[in-house]
Structure 1
Amino acid sequence: MPTHFRPCIDLHNGSVKQIVGGTLTDDTHNSQQSASASSSLKTNFVAPPEQDAAHFARIYRRDGLVGGHLIKLGPNNDAAAVSALEAWPHGLQVGGGVTDVNALQWLEKGASKVIVTSWLFPDGKLSFERLMRLSKLVSPDRLVVDLSCRRVDKRGEGGELGWVVAMNRWQTLTDFWLTKESLAQVAAYCSEFLVHAADVEGLCRGIDEELVAALGEWSGVPCTYAGGGRDLSDLQTVDRLSKGRVDLTFGSALDIFGGALVKYDDCVRWNREHPR
């Protein structure tokens, strides 16, 4: 199957934003930000009030884009998320603070799937008990596991070069390395992976091609990659590197998010010209 463009909606304090990966910390996700916290948060785009989450959801619905991810970055985002789901019921996946306590509620509110992130990694270690419990609760078909990661090079210490899952807004490295074997273990309990390359997220400096190729080889379930996309040709590159097994999300580069590098309408056209 060919690589497709997947849309996104990132919510921060109720507004649609594009944030540079790694600058959203425990301080900056708070609505009552200090001056230092505010200066550390780097945004490429903050939507005006009339362009709320529901506005973008209606655009995706109009163009038949399914499987986009809506991520709640910190508190004060639930109302905006619900409004987007009402605008595009069963067309968006919802992540951000998802646990076994609220997962079913988000599905009932209209999410097509729930995306689980940090809750799976208590104390920075993957809990298969939590993964199995959530998978049984919502079913694997409606569960997406977020394995967003940072590149780690420990070769100078006799270690490896690779990618380690990062949690808590990509600030904390876990013990989970992305490998063919580790992805297979997790894939048994979900239907998709979502992988942000946190080191290049929001920078528009190019995708992590090695990571894309690795995901294409290792992922046994559909996978969406996000991070660094800056040109429509990245869709073709991801398709080639992953053999069509990985989808791509554009964020800050998109014109609908204030970018000047990629036209949203061109992405929609790509999907229509490369049907599945």
Structure 2
Amino acid sequence: MRTKFRPCIDLHNGKVKQLVGGSVNENSPETLRTNFISNEPAEYYAKLYKDNNLRGAHIIKIGPQNDLAAREALKSWPGGLQIGGGISLDNAQRWISLGAEKAIIFITLDLLNVIVTSYLFPDAKFSLDRLKALSDEVGKDRLVVDISCRKQDAKWFVAMNKWQTITDMEVNKVHAADVEGLCQGIDRELVERLAEWTTIPTTYAGGANSINDLELVNALSNGKVDLTFGSALDIFGGTQVKFADCVAWNNQE
């Protein structure tokens, strides 16, 4: 078992962007901090990942006006990408039929597929019934739970609504929003805890800023946790990490 590089496509207002996670607030748009806006469409990145056989890549729709871009990306690599952002019982199966490998539910836990989070937390309280219903609808092997978390009083709690609302769920036994988009280094303690707790495929996102972070996460997690790079990556305007080096890391295995 060895840590893998997992790529991403973050969509905001229909464009591929890299945002500072904790700055996203629909009620205060002036606080939004953007590290990068791509001149390339989402399908460009989907094809890039396909050409380099980088499975487990996730498309995250941040806010509205992203569905068209997400659909075009899925067309470029049917069955090769995960989709998240606004996923619920009503639409999860439709996204999978459009080509998503998995659906991601934001909490911000990853499992292609559909990514889910806010849907699981009505009134910021975790609903096991909703998780079970969604799992029954699409199958647990097609479901990714995205556990975005923020640290409070030396504990991590799941955050929703673009990282602005802290839920009642403590992350114990995850996407680190406090360092998302800041390129200030990974949360080592959280990576170690994830390795202790996880029994399913898990990807860490937040703060990675060096190709050496792949080796670091591999060592901290004993290869159980994978890693996503965002703003530090050269294909997203960064200068600290080369995409080609990430591909080479995966191919070493």
Task: Give yes or no for TM over 0.5.
Answer: yes
Please state whether the residue corresponding to 2:63 is helix, strand or coil: coil
Q: Give me the TM-score of the superposition, normalised by structure 1.
A: 0.87
Describe the superposition over 1:247-270 as per-residue Cα deviations: whole angstroms up to 9, x where unpaired: 000000000000000000000000
Q: Secondary structure at the match of 2:21?
A: coil
**Residue 32 of structure 2 aligns with which residue?**
41
- The 2-side partners of 1:27 and 1:248 are apart by 31
User: What residue in structure 1 maps to residue 83 of structure 2?
Assistant: 94
Q: Is there any run of 5+ residues in structure 2 with no aligned partner, and where?
A: 105-115
Give the Cα–Cα distance (whole angstroms) in 2 for the partners of residues 108 and 26 of structure 1: 30
Q: Structure 1 CA distance, aligned partners of 2:236 and 2:127?
A: 36
Question: Aligned residue for 2:128?
Answer: 128
1:217 equivalent in structure 2: 196
Alignment partner for residue 173 of structure 1, among 163, 166, 172? 166
Distance 2:80 2:243 in 1: 18
Q: Report the counterpart of residue 107 of structure 2 in structure 1.
A: none
Q: Tell me what 1:19 maps to.
A: 19
In percent, how many aligned pairs have the same letter?
A: 58
Which residues in structure 2 correspond to 1:254-273 (within 5 Å)?
A: 254-273=233-252
Shift in Å, 1:40: 1.1
Letter in 1 for 2:10: D
Amino acid at match of 2:187: D
**SS state of the match for residue 157, structure 2?**
strand
Task: Give yes or no for the alignment of 1:81 onto 2:70.
Answer: yes
Letter in 2 for 1:167: M
Matched, 1:70 2:50: no
Distance in 2 between residues matched to 1:146 and 1:128, nearest whole Å? 15
> For 1:161-201, what per-residue CA distance to the aligned partner results, in whole angstroms no more than 9, with x for missing partners?
21000000000000000111xxxxxxxxxxxxxx2100000
Q: What is the identity, as a one-letter code, of the residue corresponding to 2:169?
A: F
1:248 equivalenced with 2:227 (yes/no): yes
Offset, 1:27: 3.3
RMSD (Å), alpha carbons: 0.7
Distance 1:172 1:6 in 2: 26
Bigger Rg, structure 1 or 2: 1
Partner residue, 2:96: 107
Runs (4 or more) in structure 1 with deviation over 3 Å come to none
Q: Distance in 1 between matches of 2:118 and 2:199?
A: 22
Give the letter for the 1:141 counterpart.
D
Alignment of 1:175-254 (within 5 A): 175-180=168-173, 195-254=174-233
1:119-157 CA-partner distances (Å, limit 9, x unpaired): 00001111000000000110000000011100111xxxx
Measure, in 2, the Cα distance between the counterparts of 1:175 and 1:229.
Answer: 27
Distance in structure 1 (CA, Å) of the matches to 2:185 and 2:16: 23
Count how many residue pairs are aligned between Structure 1 and Structure 2.
Answer: 242
Give 3-state SS (helix, strand or coil) of 1:99's partner: coil
